[in-house]
């Protein structure tokens, strides 16, 4: 693989994340020599444009990865489980956005601002490998937790997420739009993608429920954060809520730290951390919001204030574009580091 000639494949190229990956590769001028767009048989033959060139969507097969250097996977866990190892065995650097390999002890789970060293360890052999992209809500959380952990230590984290419908793909986006119009027109609504009506409603249910009554989404936040931060004993609990927002996830986070925190100092530390933007001027009504973070690359944090109910507690509000930093951008950033 030459730095100036990278052959790239996107698996799941017709999905919302796959399309965003292609868009970001072009925006960031990633050194693409050739781009192969892969999808299911039903999508094969469709056209897409990359850098003013019309490309044809190809059917994903075991032979799709010949002469590919980097493959960005965004087609779901079952596809990644089947084709990820095939690609890696052919010498491809696989960057997988699904949950298939995230908790595999032999696969690094990477957020470039937090644990970039794992990328170099994974590819130093010169052979193919798999690098996992974390869950969208986990990514924006750990970008904030990392500098706090390094400077103050962390005892406990309590997080509530307010997740946009784009996290559920095109079907989620379509359902919110359709139900909103039907509500306005006073027409009957039958939920399809979500368990209940999402328009003008909040649903405390993202992904399926587990035996402990937490959802998979909530346990992803818990387990993935521990792995990324290399802090297996981290006390963390989560509640994930689907909200009627098209794009960008929001998170209310309460953190109890080991050391006392000076709020002004903390704001400076966060502002100077790569990939973070502090928006915190409550007197002027300035704080992160989903409508302002959509299509932005950074993670935004605000409402930074002391939790007066405990000794070393703080409250934060974190917002980020779940399709960009929460998925496609994070994968491309891993790809960028892998070729350096």
User: Which one from 120, 202, 205, 249 is the annotated catalytic residue?
Assistant: 249
Band of pLDDT at residue 163, cut at 50, 70 and 90: very high
**Residue 93 pLDDT > 90, yes or no?**
yes
Band of pLDDT at residue 4, cut at 50, 70 and 90: low
Residue ranges of the chain that CATH labels 3.40.50.720 = 6-134+327-338
125's tokens:
């052999």
Arithmetic mean of pLDDT over the chain: 96
- Rounded to an integer, what is the distance from CA 318 to the centroid of its chain? 14
pLDDT tens-digit profile of 96-115? 999 999 999 999 999 999 99
Per the CB < 8 A criterion, the answer to whether 276 and 285 are in contact is no
CATH fold, domain 6-134+327-338, is: Rossmann fold (3.40.50)
**Residue 144 pLDDT > 60, yes or no?**
yes
**pLDDT for the residue numbered 124:** 72
What is d(CA 61, CA 53) in angstroms, rounded to the nearest whole number?
23
**Residue 190 pLDDT > 70, yes or no?**
yes
Angle at 193 between CA 188 and CA 194, to 5 degrees: 80
State yes or no: is 136 an active-site residue: yes
pLDDT tens-digit profile of 202-229? 999 999 999 999 999 999 999 999 999 9
- Rounded to an integer, what is the distance from CA 64 to the centroid of its chain? 25
User: Which one from 120, 129, 136, 196 is the annotated catalytic residue?
Assistant: 136
Band of pLDDT at residue 340, cut at 50, 70 and 90: confident
Residue ranges of the chain that CATH labels 3.30.360.10 = 137-322
State yes or no: is 205 an active-site residue: no
- Report the percentage of the chain scoring pLDDT > 90: 96
**pLDDT for the residue numbered 1:** 54
Tell me which of 3.30.360.10, 2.40.33.20, 1.10.3720.10, 3.40.1110.10 is the CATH number of domain 137-322: 3.30.360.10
pLDDT tens-digit profile of 269-309? 999 999 999 999 999 999 999 999 999 999 999 999 999 99
- Report the percentage of the chain scoring pLDDT > 70: 98
pLDDT tens-digit profile of 311-327? 999 999 999 999 999 99
In sign, the C-alpha dihedral spanning 144, 149, 150, 152 is positive
What is d(CA 125, CA 184) in angstroms, rounded to the nearest whole number?
58
């Amino acid at each position: 693989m030459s730095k100036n000639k990278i052959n790239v494949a996107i698996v799941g190229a017709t999905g919302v994340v796959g399309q965003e990956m292609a868009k970001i590769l072009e925006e960031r001028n990633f050194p693409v020599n050739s781009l192969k767009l892969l999808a299911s048989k039903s999508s094969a033959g469709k056209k897409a444009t990359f850098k003013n060139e019309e490309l044809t969507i190809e059917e994903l097969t075991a032979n799709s990865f010949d002469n590919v250097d980097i493959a960005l996977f965004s087609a779901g866990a079952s596809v990644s489980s089947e084709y990820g190892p095939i690609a890696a065995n052919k010498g491809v650097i696989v960057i997988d956005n699904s949950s298939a390999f995230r908790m595999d002890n032999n696969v690094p789970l990477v957020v470039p601002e937090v644990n970039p060293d794992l990328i170099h360890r994974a590819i130093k052999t010169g052979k193919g490998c798999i690098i996992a992209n974390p869950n969208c809500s986990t990514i924006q959380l750990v970008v904030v937790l990392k500098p706090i952990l390094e400077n103050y230590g962390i005892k406990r984290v309590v997080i509530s997420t307010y997740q946009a419908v784009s996290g559920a793909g095109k079907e989620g986006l379509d359902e919110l739009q359709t139900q909103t119009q039907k509500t306005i027109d006073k027409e009957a609504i039958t939920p399809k993608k979500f368990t209940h009506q999402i328009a003008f409603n909040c649903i405390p249910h993202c992904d399926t429920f587990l035996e402990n009554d937490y959802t998979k989404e909530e346990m992803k936040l818990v387990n993935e954060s521990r792995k990324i931060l290399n802090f297996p004993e981290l006390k963390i609990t989560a509640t994930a809520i689907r909200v009627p927002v098209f794009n960008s996830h929001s998170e209310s986070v309460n953190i109890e730290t080991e050391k006392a925190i000076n709020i002004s100092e903390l704001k400076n530390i966060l502002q100077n951390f790569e990939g973070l933007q502090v928006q915190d001027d409550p007197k002027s009504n300035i704080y992160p919001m989903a409508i302002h973070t959509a299509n932005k690359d950074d993670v935004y944090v605000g409402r930074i204030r002391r939790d007066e109910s405990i000794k070393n507690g703080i409250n934060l509000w974190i917002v980020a574009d779940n399709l960009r930093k929460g998925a496609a951008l994070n994968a491309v950033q891993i790809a960028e580091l892998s070729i350096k």
